[in-house]
Amino acid sequence: MKPLLNRCLGALLCVSLWFAGCAEWGYRHMNDPARDAWQKPKQIVERLDIEPGARVADLGAGGGYFTWYLAEAVGPQGKVYAVEIDETALAIIEKEMKSRRVTNVVPIRAEPDDARLPEPVDLVFSCDTYHHMEDRIAYFRSLARYLKHDGKVAILDFYAEGFFSGLLGHGTTKEEVRREMESAGYRLAADYDLVDRQHFQIFSRTGLANRSALPPSPGARSFPLTTEADINFSGG
Domain boundaries of the chain, sorted by first residue: 34-230
Q: What is the pLDDT of residue 32?
A: 85
Four-residue CA torsion sign, 145, 151, 157, 159: positive
Q: Is the pLDDT of residue 19 over 60?
A: no
Return the closest-CA partner of residue 178 out of 210, 218, 140, 145: 140
53: CB partners within 8 A, 6+ apart: 74, 75, 77, 78
Contact 181, 157 (CB under 8 A): no
Give strand pairing partners of 126: 59, 155
Q: Residues 3-17: what's their mean pLDDT?
A: 52
The residue among 215 and 146 whose pLDDT is bigger is 146
Strand partners, 57: 81, 124
- Grade residue 12 by pLDDT with cuts at 50, 70 and 90: low
Q: For 161, phi and psi rounded to 5 degrees? A: -150, 160
Q: In this model, does residue 216 exceed pLDDT 70?
A: no
pLDDT value of residue 142: 96
Share of the chain above pLDDT 90, in %: 67
Residue 162: per-residue pLDDT: 58
**What does the pLDDT average to over 138-158?**
97
Question: Taking all residues of the chain, what is their mean pLDDT, rounded to a whole number?
Answer: 81
The superfamily (CATH) of domain 34-230 is: Vaccinia Virus protein VP39 (3.40.50.150)
pLDDT digits (tens, 9 = 90+) for 162-174: 544 444 456 899 9
Read off the pLDDT of residues 23-40 as tens digits, 9 standing for 90 and up.
565 566 678 889 999 999
**What pLDDT is stored for residue 235 in this prediction?**
35
Per-residue pLDDT band at 122 (split at 50, 70, 90): very high
Calpha distance 107→56 (Å, rounded): 12
Who has greater pLDDT, 202 or 32? 202
Task: Name every residue whose Cβ is closer than 8 Å to that of residue 197 and which is 6 or more positions away in sequence.
Answer: 38, 158, 159, 165
Question: In this structure, what DSSP letter does residue 172 have?
Answer: B
- Confidence band, pLDDT 50/70/90 cuts, at residue 230: very low
Residue 159 vs residue 207, higher pLDDT: 159
Say if CB 140 and CB 152 are below 8 A apart. Answer: no
- pLDDT at residue 6, as a whole number: 52
Burial letters for 107-130: b for 16+ Cβ neighbours within 10 Å, e otherwise?
bbebeeeebebeeebbbbbbbbbb
Mean pLDDT, residues 92-101 taken together: 96
pLDDT band at residue 11 using 50, 70 and 90 as cut-offs? low
For residue range 106-118, list pLDDT tens digits in order: 999 999 999 999 9
